[in-house]
């Protein structure tokens, strides 16, 4: 017999409010993504405006520390910086009678940040429209004489290409995509594919690397070399990738010099032809903080290029507070969002700066002597020093970069677990990677060291590291295996 009863329990749990969840997501974003979000809010919120570069008020806003949050029935409400916003609130509560609404409105005329005129030319009007791979291929199809049915089938193939120019969708799956009546046959689709493969850039529409390289072999003028290259691409692609020219020469029964020349010609082909017409926009890494040595000590400062120049439009805020009513609920939400945005900007970059300064203090030997002096460090150490949670440190260091005199590093680069050496001292993985790189750079050109030999050398220096760990670190350094290094050195000596 099943007994059912009702029981009341009390439990305490922590939950994040929607605004706090949003603040956590903003903290984890890169500075470029965060700037995009701020610009989006700036474009739709009438209480935010762009601060001029020489605006002392915007610079002082970033230095404001004291802020308070209070929970009301409608959610979290941000009161803003204590000194600035309390002074502003007092002005709103008891505005001087001698200042009229028209005077306040006209006072904003000097900024001119939100005014515009019809016919103004935007900077976007001068931007060059980028030509994508699909646009380039459709333009070529438009110059060919073909029936409307064939054009539609070829366009279907073009729209199914990946960004690198490959067709990875089976042709039989494209039959239903075309939507023709009567339905297209597989033979028609193959003809359409051949038509697309005849377009520029050469190699587009290929279904694998061998087919892509084969479509580009027409650029080889010599018939003998072209035939030899076609055989290598068709039957010996693995040997070509391994750079084993002597083995290829034996398999092809061809002179070593001729095979080497053909292999060199094949390597100059483009295995990703679609990328030639990919977006020319380059996602550059913009450092969040800059580290410089001043008077013998390392200093950290925020990169001013990533800090959004945004401020509260006090004129609009004053006018809204004077005429606030029950029908202006939406405008009140905009004002609350504006203050919350300013708070997020301030808190985000203040936290980034605090974490970066703590990292530099603990890893100052790295900046003085290089990767070999990197100390093992965990998130908890920085969290305890800054006074925040480990998860916050993890979010702050995600997609954030530090510019140093020796290069630009992600903040996560400075964290690594401790590896105990034979003498009991802790060593970081970054230091071991630097030591592996030094060992490989000092190796003999005709007798490169294997990963096992590197492991033994590290052991003689008191570092017990597994061979698979050495292999992983070598791959992280983008250093080829011992066989490839020996072959490259041999080829360079022959050349």
User: Are 245 and 188 members of one domain?
Assistant: no
Q: Is the pLDDT of residue 313 over 60?
A: yes
Does residue 14 or residue 171 have the better pLDDT?
A: 171
Enclosing domain of residue 488: 418-494
108 is a domain residue? no
Q: Give the mean pLDDT of 238-257.
A: 86
Does residue 17 or residue 389 have the better pLDDT?
A: 389
Under the banding of pLDDT at 50, 70 and 90, the label for residue 68 is very low
d(CA 95, CA 256): 91
What is the torsional sign of CA 255, 260, 263, 268? Answer: negative
Q: Is the pLDDT of residue 6 over 60?
A: yes
109 is a domain residue? no
CB contact set of 485 (below 8 Å; sequence gap of 6+): 440, 448, 479
User: Are 184 and 225 members of one domain?
Assistant: no
Q: Is the pLDDT of residue 357 over 90?
A: yes
393 is a domain residue? no
User: Total structural domains in the chain?
Assistant: 4
Give the least confident one: 30-39, 169-178, 362-371, 376-385.
169-178
Beta pairing partners, 48: 312
User: Are 23 and 92 members of one domain?
Assistant: yes
121 is a domain residue? no
Asked which of 164, 197, 230 is the last residue of a domain, the reply is 197
Q: Give the mean pLDDT of 35-59.
A: 76
User: Are 441 and 466 members of one domain?
Assistant: yes
Retrieve residue 299's tokens: 């200093």
Under the banding of pLDDT at 50, 70 and 90, the label for residue 103 is low
Strands (E), 232-354: 289-294, 297-302, 310-312
Q: Give the mean pLDDT of 296-301.
A: 91
Retrieve residue 343's tokens: 């708070």
Asked which of 175, 197, 219 is the last residue of a domain, the reply is 197
CB atoms within 10 A of CB 332: 15
User: Are 176 and 233 members of one domain?
Assistant: no
Asked which of 197, 218, 251 is the last residue of a domain, the reply is 197
User: Are 489 and 433 members of one domain?
Assistant: yes
pLDDT for residue 290: 94
d(CA 34, CA 345): 9
Q: Is the pLDDT of residue 187 over 50?
A: yes
pLDDT tens-digit readout, 105-139? 555 554 444 444 445 555 555 555 667 888 889 89
pLDDT for residue 295: 87
Q: Is the pLDDT of residue 16 over 80?
A: no
User: Are 465 and 430 members of one domain?
Assistant: yes
137 is a domain residue? yes
pLDDT for residue 69: 31
Does residue 305 or residue 180 have the better pLDDT?
A: 305
pTM higher than the cut 0.85: no
Q: Is the pLDDT of residue 67 over 70?
A: no
| Average pLDDT along the chain | 77
pLDDT for residue 89: 40
Burial of 116: CB neighbours in 10 Å, binned 0-12, 13-18, 19+:
exposed
pLDDT for residue 425: 65
Angle between helices 390-397 and 18-28 (to 10 degrees): 50
pLDDT tens-digit readout, 202-229? 999 998 888 999 999 988 888 898 999 9
User: Are 165 and 218 members of one domain?
Assistant: no
Q: Give the mean pLDDT of 132-147.
A: 88
Q: Give the mean pLDDT of 51-67.
A: 49
Q: Is the pLDDT of residue 281 over 60?
A: no
d(CA 343, CA 35): 14
User: Are 243 and 190 members of one domain?
Assistant: no
156 is a domain residue? yes
d(CA 245, CA 228): 13
pLDDT for residue 375: 85
Does residue 5 or residue 350 have the better pLDDT?
A: 350
Under the banding of pLDDT at 50, 70 and 90, the label for residue 197 is very high
User: Are 240 and 271 members of one domain?
Assistant: yes
CATH number of domain containing 470: 1.10.10.60
pLDDT for residue 171: 84
User: Are 22 and 53 members of one domain?
Assistant: yes
453 is a domain residue? yes
Under the banding of pLDDT at 50, 70 and 90, the label for residue 456 is confident
Q: Is the pLDDT of residue 231 over 70?
A: yes
101 is a domain residue? no
Beta pairing partners, 289: 302, 402
User: Are 50 and 85 members of one domain?
Assistant: yes
Given a contact cutoff of 8 angstroms between Cβ atoms, the answer to whether 76 and 334 are in contact is no
Q: Give the mean pLDDT of 94-104.
A: 51
Does residue 429 or residue 237 have the better pLDDT?
A: 237
Distances (CA, A) of 102 to 61, 108, 113: 27, 10, 18
pLDDT tens-digit readout, 418-433? 666 655 566 677 778 8
pLDDT for residue 418: 67
d(CA 356, CA 351): 9
Residues of the chain above pLDDT 90, percent = 13
Under the banding of pLDDT at 50, 70 and 90, the label for residue 492 is very low
Q: Give the mean pLDDT of 221-245.
A: 87
d(CA 421, CA 432): 11
């Amino acid at each position: 017999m099943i007994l059912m009863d009702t029981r009341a329990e009390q439990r305490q749990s922590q939950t994040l409010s929607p605004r706090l969840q949003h603040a956590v997501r903003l903290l984890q974003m890169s500075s470029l993504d965060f700037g995009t979000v701020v610009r989006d809010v700036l474009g739709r919120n009438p209480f935010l405006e762009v601060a001029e570069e020489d605006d002392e008020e915007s610079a002082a806003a970033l230095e404001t520390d004291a802020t308070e949050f209070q929970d009301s029935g409608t959610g979290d409400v941000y009161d803003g910086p204590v000194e600035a916003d309390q002074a502003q609130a007092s002005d709103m509560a008891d505005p001087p009678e001698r200042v009229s609404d028209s005077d306040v409105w006209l006072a904003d005329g000097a900024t001119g940040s939100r005014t515009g005129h019809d016919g103004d030319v935007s900077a976007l009007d001068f931007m060059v429209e980028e030509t994508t791979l699909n646009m380039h291929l459709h333009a070529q199809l438009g110059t060919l004489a073909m029936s409307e049915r064939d054009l539609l089938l070829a366009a279907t193939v073009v729209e199914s290409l990946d960004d690198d120019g490959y067709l990875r969708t089976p042709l039989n799956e494209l039959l239903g995509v075309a939507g023709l009546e009567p339905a297209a046959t597989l033979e028609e689709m193959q003809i359409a594919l051949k038509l697309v493969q005849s377009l520029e850039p050469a190699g587009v529409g290929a279904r694998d690397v061998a087919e892509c390289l084969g479509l580009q072999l027409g650029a080889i003028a010599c018939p003998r070399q072209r035939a030899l290259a076609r055989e290598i691409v068709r039957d010996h692609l693995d040997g070509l990738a391994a750079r084993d020219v002597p083995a290829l020469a034996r398999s092809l029964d061809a002179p070593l010099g001729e095979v080497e020349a053909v292999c060199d010609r094949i390597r100059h082909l483009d295995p990703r032809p679609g990328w030639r017409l990919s977006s020319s926009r380059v996602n550059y890494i913009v450092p969040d903080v800059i580290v410089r040595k001043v008077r013998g000590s390392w200093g950290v400062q925020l990169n001013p290029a990533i800090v959004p120049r945004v401020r509260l439009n006090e004129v609009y805020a004053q006018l809204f507070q004077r005429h606030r009513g029950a029908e202006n609920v939406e405008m009140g939400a905009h004002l609350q969002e504006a203050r919350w945005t300013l708070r997020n900007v301030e808190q985000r970059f203040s936290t980034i700066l605090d974490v970066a300064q703590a990292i530099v203090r603990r890893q100052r030997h790295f900046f003085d002597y290089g990767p070999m002096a990197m100390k093992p460090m965990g998130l908890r150490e920085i969290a305890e020093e800054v006074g925040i949670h480990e998860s916050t440190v993890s979010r702050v260091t995600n997609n954030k970069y530090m510019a140093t005199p020796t290069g630009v590093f992600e903040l996560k680069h400075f964290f690594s677990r401790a590896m105990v050496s034979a003498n009991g001292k802790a060593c970081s993985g970054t230091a071991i990677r630097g030591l592996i790189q030094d060992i490989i750079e000092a190796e003999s050109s005709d007798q490169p060291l294997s990963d096992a030999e590197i492991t033994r050398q590290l052991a003689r220096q008191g570092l017990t590291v597994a061979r698979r760990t050495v292999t992983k670190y070598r791959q992280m350094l983008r250093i080829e295996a011992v066989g490839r290094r020996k072959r490259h050195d041999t080829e360079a000596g022959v050349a």
